[in-house]
Amino acid sequence: MLARFPRLGEVKTRLAPPLSPAEALDLHERLTRQAVRSARALVVTGEAKAELRTDAAFQRAASEWLHERDIGYRYQGTGDLGDRIALAFHDAFRRGAERVIVVGSDCPRLSAPIMRDALGRLSATDVVLGPAEDGGYYLIGLRREAVKAAVPALFSGLPWGSSDVFARTLELAEDAGLGTALLKRLPDVDRPEDLLDAEIALRRARVEPGARVSVIIPALDDATLLGAAVTSARAAGAVEVIVVDGGSRDGTRRAAEATGAHVLDAPTGRATQMNAGAAAAAAEVLLFLHADTTLPAHACRLAVSALATPGVVAGGFSYSVPAHARHARIISAVGRARGILGGLPWGDQALFMSRDTFTELGGFPGQPAMEDYELAHRLADFGRVVTLPDPVITSARAWDKYGLLLPTAMNLAVIAAYRAGVDTHRLARWRSRIAPGSSTR
C-alpha cells in the first residue's frame, strides 16, 4: 500500500478548502487506517503479507504513526507515482511473492473482499485493475509470470493524476499482450463532492449505539431445542432471527417456521450454514447462536454496547448449562475456565461481531470442525475480543448421555489435536461420537 506520511498542509491539499489543513490531515489518517485494516485482514487469515510504503525517511516513523502489527513498513522511493508503483512490485517479487497487488490509501470503499478477489483473479490473468471513478485506478495487481513485460510497459510516461490513467493503462496492457481483469469501479476522495460518500464509507467499520442485531442459528436435527433458542433471540432484541437448516430429518425446518424465523437451507456444516445466514442478514451486527443455546436478557443491547467500545472487534457471553443438568456446576465451571485460560469465547458462547468485521475476515473458515475456534483466534489477531459476564445457557445433552469424563476429555483432545495440526475432517469424526444427532457437532 502506498500512502503519504501525515504532514500538516501536505496531504489532501485539493480538499483544503473546503477542509482546513487539520481536517484534511485527519481525513488522510482515517483513510489510511481503514485501508491498512483491510490489508491486515488478509494477513490475519493467512492469505497474504502486507506492507505500508510511505515517503517517511525512516521506517520507524511510519511504524510509530500507525502502531499496526502484522504489516511491514518501507520507504516508497522517489520519482513519480509510476516509479513508486514499479519499485513496490520489484521489491515484492524479489522477496519471493507470486502475486502482488498495490493499492492507494484514498479509496474509502476498498475492502478486504476486493483485495481477496484481486489476488484470486491473478491466478488466471496477468494484470488486475480496480478502476476509480475519477479515471485513475485504486488497485493494480500483477503475477510473477507477467512482471518482466508489465513493469516497463505500464508505469512509464503516463499522465499521472489525470482522468486518462486507467484507459491508457488498459491500452498499454493490450499492446504488451497482457491479459487483464477488471474489478468494480469505486470512488476516490479527490474532490469536495467526494467527501459525503467518503464519510459514509469510513463509518462502515464502526458500530454505533442503537445498531441492529441479526441472530443466525445453524440447525441440524434440533427440532426439540430450536424453539427456545429462537424465543430467546427475539426476547434479547434481535431484529431478525435466521435459522439455517443443514438437511434435518426430524422436523427442524417445520419447527423453525413455526417460530416465525426466516428459514434458509444450506449444505450440512456449521461454517457453511452460518456463512449462508450471514450473507442473508440485514443488520449491522451478527450474532451466531447454536440451536441448543439460549441468550441472556438484553443480549443484543449488550453486544452492541461492547462493539461500540474502541478497539473491540468481537465478543461472546459467559458459559453455563441448565441448573438441572447432571454435574451442572462442574460443567459450567469447566466451560468458564476454558474461556479464561484460552482468553476467547467459543461458538457455544454466542459469538458476535459487526458485519464489516465478519466480511473483512472472510467469515467462518470452511472446515468441518473447530471453525469457531479458528475464527475467534483470527478475531483476536484483528482486535480485542471480549467475554461478557452474562451467561448463555447451553444444552448439556452430551454430558447427560455420556457422563462427565468422556465429553470433557474428548473436547480437550480435539483442541490439542487441532493445535497440533490434525486434519479437521478427522476431528469432526471424533466429535461426532459425543454429539447427539449430528456428525458436525
Question: In a structure prediction context, what are the per-residue pLDDT tens digits for the chain, which is 441 residues long?
Answer: 999 999 999 999 999 899 999 999 999 999 999 999 999 999 999 999 999 999 998 888 988 998 888 899 999 999 999 999 999 999 999 999 999 999 999 999 999 999 999 999 999 999 999 999 999 999 999 999 999 999 999 998 898 988 999 999 999 999 999 999 999 999 999 889 999 999 999 998 899 999 999 999 999 999 999 999 999 999 999 999 999 999 999 999 999 999 999 999 999 999 999 999 999 999 999 999 999 999 999 999 999 999 999 999 999 999 988 777 776 778 777 777 777 767 799 889 999 999 999 999 999 999 989 999 999 999 999 999 999 999 999 887 777 777 777 777 887 888 889 889 999 988 888 777 666 443 334
- In the prediction, which pLDDT does 435 show? 61
Q: What tens digit of pLDDT does each residue of 17-53 get?
A: 999 999 999 999 999 999 999 999 999 999 999 999 9
d(CA 18, CA 288) in angstroms, rounded, equals: 44
Is residue 318 within 8 Å of residue 390, measured between CB atoms? yes
Let me know if 282 is exposed, middle or buried by CB neighbors in 10 A (0-12, 13-18, 19+): exposed
CA-CA distance, 301 to 361, in Å (whole number)?
A: 24
pLDDT at 412: 80
Distance CA 247, CA 253 (A): 9
Contact status, residue 39 vs residue 71, Cβ threshold 8 Å: yes
What is the rounded distance in angstroms from the CA atom of residue 401 to the CA atom of residue 407? 9
Q: What is the CA radius of gyration of the chain?
A: 24
Distance CA 108, CA 30 (A): 9
- CATH code that applies to domain 13-202: 3.90.550.10
Determine the pLDDT at residue 341. 66
Residue 390 C-alpha from the chain's centroid: 25
**pLDDT given at position 280:** 98
Beta strands in 113-249, from DSSP E residues, in sequence order: 127-131, 137-143, 180-182, 213-219, 240-245
Dist CA 430 CA 440 (whole Å): 10
Beta bridge partners of residue 132, listed in sequence order: 186
Q: How far is 336 from 332, CA to CA, in rounded Å?
A: 6
Contacts of 382 (CB under 8 A, 6+ apart): 40, 41, 44, 313, 357, 360, 361
The C-alpha angle 111, 384, 281, rounded to 5 degrees, equals 50
**C-alpha span between 369 and 427 (Å, rounded):** 6
426 burial class (0-12, 13-18, 19+ CB within 10 angstroms)? middle
Distance CA(235)–CA(229), nearest Å, equals 10
What is the spatial distance between Cα 306 and Cα 349, in angstroms, rounded to a whole number? 15
**C-alpha span between 67 and 44 (Å, rounded):** 16
Tell me how crowded residue 140 is: count the other CB atoms within 10 A of its CB.
24
What stretch(es) of the chain map to CATH 3.90.550.10?
A: 13-202, 213-432
Q: For residue 389, which phi and psi values (nearest 5 degrees)?
A: -70, -25
Burial label for 157, CB within 10 Å (0-12, 13-18, 19+), is exposed
Give me the phi and psi of 214, to 5 degrees please.
Answer: -100, 130
pLDDT per residue over 340-397, tens digit each?
767 799 889 999 999 999 999 999 999 989 999 999 999 999 999 999 999 999 887 7
With beta carbons less than 8 A apart as the criterion, state whether 170 and 140 touch.
no
| pLDDT recorded at residue 399 | 73
At the top level of CATH, the class of 213-432 is alpha beta
Which residues lie closer than 8 Å to 328 by C-beta, 6 or more apart? 321, 322, 396
